[in-house]
Every structure is written in structure tokens, then in C-alpha cells.
Amino acid sequence: MDMPLSRFADPARRWADTPTRTVSAAGTTFFYRQLGPATGVPVVLLNHWGANLDNFDPRIVDGFAASRPVFALDYRGVGASGGKAPLTVAEMATDTVATLRALGLDQVDLVGFSLGGFVAQDVALRALTLVRRLILAGTGPAGGIGIERVGAVSWPLILKGLLTFKDPKTYLFFTASEPSRRAAKAFLGRLRERTKDRDAPVGMGTFLRQLKAIKAWGRQTPQDLGRIASPVLVANGDRDLMVPSSNSADMARRLPNAELVLYEDAGHGGIFQCHEAFTRKALAFLDA
């Protein structure tokens, strides 16, 4: 498919200076950013718990945008988007489908990280013809092992971040090894590259509502992933504490057309620690 997207396209623009735009869908206003060329199958990015538009890794986004139109979305109630954050992944998926339709996108390649991977699975199951290829990173299936305990695992590490004056993602996304901690510092530096037109911060109310949705996903009856016929790339670190890495292997077994990549000595943020290798692999997968 060669979809024209020339309305806002600017092939020379970087993620760090891409303007923020709005679209009306499902009864509210969603904030998003678009960059990359004017044609091609769009890559749509869905982000993690407590993340707004400024939490997408600039190197990964720019890597995709070098050859593909890229759309990065805020969920309802996240960042500057309107409404209250949904309490279920199903509602987030419904919003996502409505947003993509409002943007005029009838087929996409969907990339979901962590909570975004939950939403991406649900979107693929709800709109089978919408998703051409799917990348699920640092995530797990409905009813997956340990997912209902994301909060219990995360709160001590969040507190540790506060007590050590470090971004909690240092401990949540990366291992304790020296190479992984260096990667954490580099990743957090990349997130600060954008200095203007930054998204609104995510409030504690939204943070807690999303956690309820995550817990509900962990307790949900497993879905029939065999219905997703699209090719799927499953990626994670081999030492994910938040969404245990065993969930990635489980999804890869249950999906009929899946490939699994686990990065060594990497945690929940394995795709950020190994962003160069991940971007190469993801682009090769999307272009296959």
C-alpha cells in the first residue's frame, strides 16, 4: 500500500522538533505527532504506563521515520489529550482504533511497548484488517504471568529512584550491570533532547488509573492470539522485572506468525538499551 500522507509530512524533521497536533475522535481530543515521508505504510507507536509523547525514544522514532510515516499517539487522559484515562485496555484499544480512523489510516504497522503492547494486541484482535504487521516489545498477553503484580514490583523501584535522585526508569527499565546503567543514562538523556512544545506531564490520577487497567489485564481471561494472522515481532530484554520475559516467549509460541528476539543483560527497556539493534531488526521485519 502506498498511502499519501502529505498533509503534515516533512521528511527532514526530527522527533525532537516535530510539532504536536490534535485530532478529534471518540468524543474527545487526542494529541499526537507525525513525522517521516509522505507515503508508505504508517508506523503507529503506542507507549507505556505513565508515558506521554515525550517518552518515546527519539533514536527509535527517527529510525522508523527515515523511511516510513510515523504517528505517535497519546492515550485518552494522557499528556494534553482530553478525558480521563480508561480503566481497561479494551477502552484504550477502542480509542486507538477510533483515532486511527479519524486520521484517515486504513492500514498500519503497529508498535506497542509495555502497556502499549497490551493495547496493540487488543487493536489487532478488534480490527484484523487494520494491522498489517505488529511489533510487541516489553509486553505480555492478557492473563500473563506476573502482569497483575506490575504495581507491587514497580513501587519499591519508583521509591528507590526518588531516594537516590534518579529517574525511576533507571531501575524499572534497566538491569544493575554497568553496561545497562550506562545505557539508562544515555536513554534518559535522549528523552531530554526536546526542549520546546513538550507534552503535558502525566498526573498521579492518570498514573493510578492506568495501573488499574494493567492489573485488570493481568487478571483477564487469556485471549485467542491465534486469531492474529499478521506477522509479529516480539522483543524484550531477557531480564524484564516489570513484565516477566517469559511472557514474550509465551506470546511468540501462541501467535501463528511470530519471531522472538531477547536482548541479553537487558530489562523491561531492552529496546532502549539496544536501540540500534532493535531499530535495524524492526525495520527489516517491517520491510520483509
Helix axis angle, 150-163 to 204-219, nearest 10°? 150
Q: What is the pLDDT of residue 263?
A: 98
Measure Cα distances from 253 to 48, 247, 249 in Å: 23, 10, 6
Query: What does the radius of gyration of the chain's CA atoms come to, in whole angstroms?
Result: 17
Confidence of residue 2 (pLDDT cuts 50, 70, 90): very low
pLDDT at 184: 98
* CATH match of 15-287 with 3.40.50.1820: yes
Q: Could you tell me the CA-to-CA distances from 184 to 74, 151, 177, 244 in Å, in that order? A: 23, 21, 11, 19
Query: Per-domain residue ranges for the chain?
Result: 15-287
Report the pLDDT value the prediction gives residue 91, as an integer from 0 to 100.
98
Model confidence pLDDT, tens digit, residues 178-191: 999 999 999 999 99
Residue 9: count of CB within 10 angstroms of its CB: 16
pLDDT at 10: 57
Q: What is the DSSP letter of 138?
A: S
Tens digit of pLDDT for each residue in 117-172?
999 999 999 998 999 999 999 999 999 999 999 999 999 999 999 999 999 999 99
Whole-number pLDDT of residue 1:
40
* pLDDT tens-digit series, residues 31-58: 999 999 989 999 999 999 999 999 999 9
Neighbours of 194 (CB within 10 A): 18
